[in-house]
Amino acid sequence: MRINDQKIDHQLISSIFEDNLAEAVAWSSNGYYLKSRPSFTLDPMFHAGAYYVQEASSMFLEEALKQAVDLTQPLKVLDLCAAPGGKSTLTQSVISNNSLLVSNEVIKARVNVLAENITKWGSANVIVTNNDPKDFQRLPGYFDVVIVDAPCSGSGLFRKDPKAVDEWSEQNVQLCNQRQQRILADVLPALKPGGVLIYSTCSYSPEENEDICDWLMDNYSFENTRFTLNEELGIVETISPNNKAVGYRFYPDKVKGEGLFIAAFQKSDNEKADQFSTKTKAKNERVPAAEIKHIRYFLNEADEYFFIKQNEEMIAMPRWLETDFMIIRSALYIKKAGVKLGTLIRNELIPDHELAISTIISRNIQSLEMDRETALQYLRKTEIKLTSPERGWALPTYNKLPLGWIKVLPNRINNYYPKDWRIFNK
């Protein structure tokens, strides 16, 4: 598991999981191994976005970013094959607050779970898109970092998922190699000169790893990046046969994690990028100042955001990302952007669930702490009983983390947890 340090600290997570925390993941600032797998579905903290359940080897992306990129700078980062969201939530945690993350998933059936996990993470500087890699050619030289965790034959998951063995074949490895080349060729025009590409798979096959590194260096102006690593970690450094590109392999008998390959490259500064158009088409309505005053109460530091309307729903994004949002909106299909605030009806904001579990929610809103059983009843969208001194909108919390919205009425409490998110486990 990897904690969301924008919502919770290490001391609290240690007290909650108590004896089930084994040790920290060596290459992750927020990752922990668990001694046994609990029912995450029945943990309200999971639904509050306090942590993400992620395979430990995959968390090495943090170290790759730290060694290949200056994370103190404002960056535009693309996570191209992002669902279900592990790499994106990790990336968002390590980039600066004035950076932008575009989290993309090409498969329409998978983009909803990506958007849900990004929503739980709670940050406003993320845009979720549902586009083919070639669509990003509309943004030539735009991104400082492109992360491609490419679709692969999956041999690195043999220990974790025995069924993966039955699905593996040499023919599939060759098909994956061709697909990986096509994906990279389609998206690389969007990486700016001097930008960083991080490529990874969960495959052991050289055709999908070292051969791809050679293909990249044969066909593009890239310089390979070598990481500085402690040998005691058990990560195996590997060299591609033709161009001697360095990559890193994770083997389950050498590290506490599943199979992974990862390598980083920097695009030549000398390569010229086409200019993308900054002209945008107005599709969304800016929120008038007269309406903004009704939503300020719900936000922490409301002046730090700009507000738009989409189908009468208000959305907030960091003010410094307004131009970038307009550019991306003109080039790509956006599934989710920033934080959805809600709908204004007769000068009252009907707040959205995204706002409740975001990191931009005001600390002044009434919150009502729940015990675990009441929290689970809330997550099942059943009736709950709480005592409140005030009427109106309130945040039901568990360990002081909001789980959603309730509305306190004179004789009852209305549960506004999204019906599509409710849990059914008993």
Instruction: Indicate whether 293 pLDDT > 60.
Output: yes
For residue 191, what are the β-bridge partners? 143
Residue-wise pLDDT tens digits, 72-121: 999 999 999 999 999 999 999 999 999 999 999 999 999 999 999 999 99
CB-count exposure of residue 19 (10 Å: 0-12, 13-18, 19+): exposed
So where are the chain's domains? 54-267, 277-364, 366-426
The confidence score (pLDDT) of residue 421 equals: 96
Domain 277-364 adopts which CATH fold? Nuclear Transport Factor 2; Chain: A, (3.10.450)
Mean per-residue pLDDT, 225-241 = 97
Instruction: Indicate whether 280 pLDDT > 60.
Output: no
Answer with the residue of higher pLDDT: 220 or 169: 220
Instruction: Indicate whether 282 pLDDT > 70.
Output: no
Task: Assess whether the region 277-364 and the region 366-426 belong to the same CATH fold.
Answer: yes
How much is the pTM?
Answer: 0.95
Give me the chain's average pLDDT, please: 94
The confidence score (pLDDT) of residue 213 equals: 98
Q: Has domain 54-267 been given CATH number 3.40.50.880?
A: no
The confidence score (pLDDT) of residue 138 equals: 97
Binned at pLDDT 50, 70 and 90, residue 225 comes out as: very high
The confidence score (pLDDT) of residue 401 equals: 97
Q: Which residues contact 62 (CB under 8 A, 6 or more apart)?
A: 27, 28, 29, 90, 93, 94
The confidence score (pLDDT) of residue 272 equals: 66
Q: Which of 209, 211, 190 is nearest to 201 (CA)?
A: 209
- The C-alpha atoms of residue 294 and residue 273 are separated, in whole angstroms, by 44
Residue-wise pLDDT tens digits, 325-343: 999 999 999 999 999 999 9
CA 347-349-351 angle, to 5 degrees, is 175
CB 379 within 8 A of CB 422: yes
CB-count exposure of residue 410 (10 Å: 0-12, 13-18, 19+): exposed
Q: Which of 116, 127, 126, 119 is nearest to 355 (CA)?
A: 119
The confidence score (pLDDT) of residue 279 equals: 60
The confidence score (pLDDT) of residue 273 equals: 61
Residue-wise pLDDT tens digits, 30-84: 999 999 999 999 999 999 999 999 999 999 999 999 999 999 999 999 999 999 9
Residue type, 345: I
Instruction: Indicate whether 284 pLDDT > 70.
Output: no
Mean per-residue pLDDT, 268-283 = 64
Domain 366-426 adopts which CATH fold? Nuclear Transport Factor 2; Chain: A, (3.10.450)
The confidence score (pLDDT) of residue 412 equals: 92
Instruction: Indicate whether 283 pLDDT > 60.
Output: no
